[in-house]
Amino acid sequence: MLKFLAWTGLVLGAMTSAHAEGRLQATLVPSYSDNPTRLVFTLANTGDKPVAFERFITPLQLLDDVHTSLMQFDVEDLSTPKHVHAEYRGYSVHLIGHPVENFMTLNPGQSESATYDIDPDYALVPGKTYAVTFRMVVGLGPVDGRGIPLPSNLRLPLQQEIRSNTVIVSVPETPSAAVVHARQAIAAVTYPRRGTRHGLGPTPLIPILIRHSGTRTV
């Protein structure tokens, strides 16, 4: 009996310790706009400690307020037997180092939300239906895979994969006027005039940007 109580105490202690860490939870919901491919992404800290992560690996920081900086979503075509993934045609950002200003900290109970349209970054076919899930890996300290150190004054979590719920997105055969207008606006910033550089929003990073849908390097 004493052994059982001791074991139970160890298990409960481990569970309490795990709960005392920062934990990130990602959520996707439709934006309920005229554009069905627009989603609202929310990242929340459901734990009891602050947690830091690089903001650019989420839709909370977009290139030109349009594109994610790397492939962050599973977009599965439900019309195919094996749920083939839609082709990713967005960017891949490679950073030199991990400056502290690129990180974001969420305190316990805090959340941040952003609206993101999956259409510019994924080859979606009109008339098809897709299952969309966000995923990311956080927790790299104290150095990344190349041996480059991460900020030591931030509370970085243990390495873990964060996966959101899955939402179903149906792409209409004929886009609405709002969708056509949005695509025109997106094209204006995605393919700017020659010599224009892409930015990463209000906090510039030091990236190498590689366009997947071609050989053009920015």
Query: What's the number of domains the chain is made of?
Result: 1
The DSSP string of 150-201 is PPTTS-PPPSEEEEEEEEEEE--SS--HHHHHHHHHHHHHHS-STTPPP--T
Burial (Cβ within 10 Å: 0-12, 13-18, ≥19) of residue 214: exposed
Strand (E) or helix (H) holding 5: helix 2-19
- Quick check: is 2 in a domain? no
In a domain, 46, yes or no: yes
Residue 202 lies in a domain: yes
Distance CA 195, CA 111 (A): 37
Could you tell me the end-to-end alpha-carbon distance of the chain, in angstroms, rounded to an integer? 67
- Determine, yes or no, domain membership for 12: no
Residue 40 maps to which CATH number? Answer: 2.60.40.2970
Quote the CA–CA distance of 120 and 39 in Å, as a whole number: 13
Domain containing residue 96:
22-211
Whole-structure pTM value: 0.73
Let me know if residue 59 belongs to a domain: yes
Tens-digit pLDDT string for the chain (218 aa): 444 334 433 333 333 333 346 789 999 999 987 889 999 999 999 989 888 888 999 999 998 888 999 999 999 999 888 889 999 988 888 777 778 888 899 999 999 999 999 998 999 999 999 999 999 988 755 566 666 666 666 776 667 889 999 999 999 887 666 666 666 665 655 554 433 334 444 444 444 444 554 433 33
| Whole-number Å distance between alpha carbons of 179 and 130 | 17
Residue 13 in any domain: the answer is no
Instruction: Flag whether 88 is in a domain.
Output: yes
